[in-house]
């Protein structure tokens, strides 16, 4: 797909495409206190992408950890996804978990993936067709994962960067959480931030559940960005970091990755205090 973000009208015009697969990755709950505008409503023909179970590494001890390529591939095949599939992903909170899924597909080497700007709310308000239950795959797919390690950063890289300072860590949490003036919502995780990191709360790149215009996004990144460095996005558990990653993808050419463990990992280890 040409753009990583599609409007509801653009998606509606693609509905006759035989390769189109719509994925709903709406979360069961979230740490940001967001509430869906529409309940028990699904975009017509959408399949459910289970970001909590099927597409997370449940053995990691951390929330939402990127699964292995083998796990990701197998569950994509169960969803009926092919290498030729043109995927559009959305969630029921406007823009929340959908950029995480977009990033995961990119990590697994699939570039025919886009996020529905405004999510379910934008689709319903445009009067486009919905249903009450998800579709299921009629056949097993042939999706093949090709892992792209450069899009993922781990705790070792972030630790080394404390002295090397080759990357700029951008944290998507709220200013209160970043500054440590409120407690972290996860038990056993202290307050604060990664030394040397900067803060862009993910809500700042959004307006009414959609990404802001590119000129506004450029201005937001310009306030904190160092064009000479690669960018590593972090948050509480690796979800809202992907919102900033995608916003950056729209306006910045620098190398980008997501620190998958994010503050849930960094803030739970005593040696990092």
Q: What CA–CA distance (Å, rounded) separates 19 from 86?
A: 6
- The first and second tokens of residue 93, run together, are 């909170």
Q: What is the pLDDT of residue 270?
A: 67
CATH of 150-272 among 3.40.50.460, 3.40.250.10, 1.10.3720.10, 3.40.190.10 = 3.40.250.10
Distances (CA, A) of 122 to 57, 84, 187, 191, 249: 31, 27, 35, 35, 22
Q: What is the pLDDT of residue 100?
A: 98
Q: What is the pLDDT of residue 181?
A: 96
Q: Where are the domains of the chain?
A: 5-147, 150-272
Residues with a catalytic annotation lie at 235
Give the position of tokens 């909170």: 93
Q: How many CB atoms lie within 10 A of CB 109?
A: 15
Sites in the chain below the pLDDT cut of 50: none
- Among the listed residues 221, 81, 60, 58, the one whose alpha carbon sits nearest the alpha carbon of residue 137: 81
Which CATH class for the 5-147 domain? Answer: alpha beta
Q: What is the pLDDT of residue 271?
A: 72
Q: What is the pLDDT of residue 31?
A: 66
What sign for the dihedral angle of Cα 253, 255, 261, 266? negative
**Backbone dihedral region of 22: left (phi > 0), alpha (psi from -120 to 50 degrees) or beta?**
beta
> Is there a shared CATH topology between the 5-147 domain and the 150-272 domain?
yes
Q: What is the pLDDT of residue 178?
A: 98
Q: What is the pLDDT of residue 28?
A: 79
Q: What is the pLDDT of residue 36?
A: 81
- The first and second tokens of residue 72, run together, are 């990701």
Q: What is the pLDDT of residue 269?
A: 84
Task: Decide: 214 and 150 in contact? Cβ < 8 Å.
Answer: no
Task: Decide: 229 and 253 in contact? Cβ < 8 Å.
Answer: no
Q: What is the pLDDT of residue 34?
A: 73
Mind giving me the DSSP string for the chain?
---SEE-HHHHHTTTT-TTEEEEE---S--TT----SSSS-EETT-EE--TTTTTS-TTSSSTTPPPPHHHHHHHHHHTT--TT-EEEEE-TTSSSSHHHHHHHHHHTT---EEEETTHHHHHHHTT--EESS-B--SS---------GGGEE-HHHHHHHHHH--EEEEE-S-HHHHHTSS--SSTT--S---TT-EE--GGGGEETTEEPPHHHHHHHHHTT--TTSEEEEE-SSSSTHHHHHHHHHHH--S-EEEESSHHHHHTT-GGG-
Angle at 4 between CA 41 and CA 57, to 5 degrees: 70
């Amino acid at each position: 797909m040409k753009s990583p973000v599609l409007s509801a009208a653009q998606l509606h015009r693609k509905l006759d495409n035989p390769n189109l697969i719509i994925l709903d990755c709406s979360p069961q709950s979230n740490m940001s206190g967001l509430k869906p505008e529409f309940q028990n409503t699904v975009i017509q023909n959408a399949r459910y992408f289970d970001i909590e179970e099927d597409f997370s590494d449940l053995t990691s001890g951390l929330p939402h950890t990127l699964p292995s390529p083998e796990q990701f591939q197998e569950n994509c095949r169960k969803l009926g996804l092919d290498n030729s599939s043109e995927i559009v992903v959305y969630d029921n909170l406007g823009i929340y978990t959908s950029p995480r899924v977009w990033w995961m597909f990119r990590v697994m080497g699939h570039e025919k993936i886009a996020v529905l700007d405004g999510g379910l709310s934008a689709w319903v308000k445009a009067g486009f067709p919905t249903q009450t239950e998800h579709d299921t795959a009629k056949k097993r797919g042939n999706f093949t994962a090709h892992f792209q390690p450069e899009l993922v950063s781990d705790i070792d890289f972030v630790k080394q960067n404390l002295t090397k300072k080759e990357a700029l860590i951008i944290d998507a949490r709220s200013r209160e959480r970043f500054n440590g003036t409120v407690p972290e919502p996860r038990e056993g995780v202290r307050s604060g931030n990664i030394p040397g990191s900067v803060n862009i709360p993910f809500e700042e790149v959004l307006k009414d559940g959609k990404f802001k215009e590119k000129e506004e996004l450029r201005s937001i990144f310009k306030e904190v960005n160092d064009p000479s460095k690669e960018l590593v996005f972090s948050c509480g558990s690796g979800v809202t970091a992907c919102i900033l990653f995608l916003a950056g993808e729209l306006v910045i050419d620098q190398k980008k990755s997501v620190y998958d463990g994010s503050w849930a990992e960094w803030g739970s280890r005593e040696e990092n205090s």
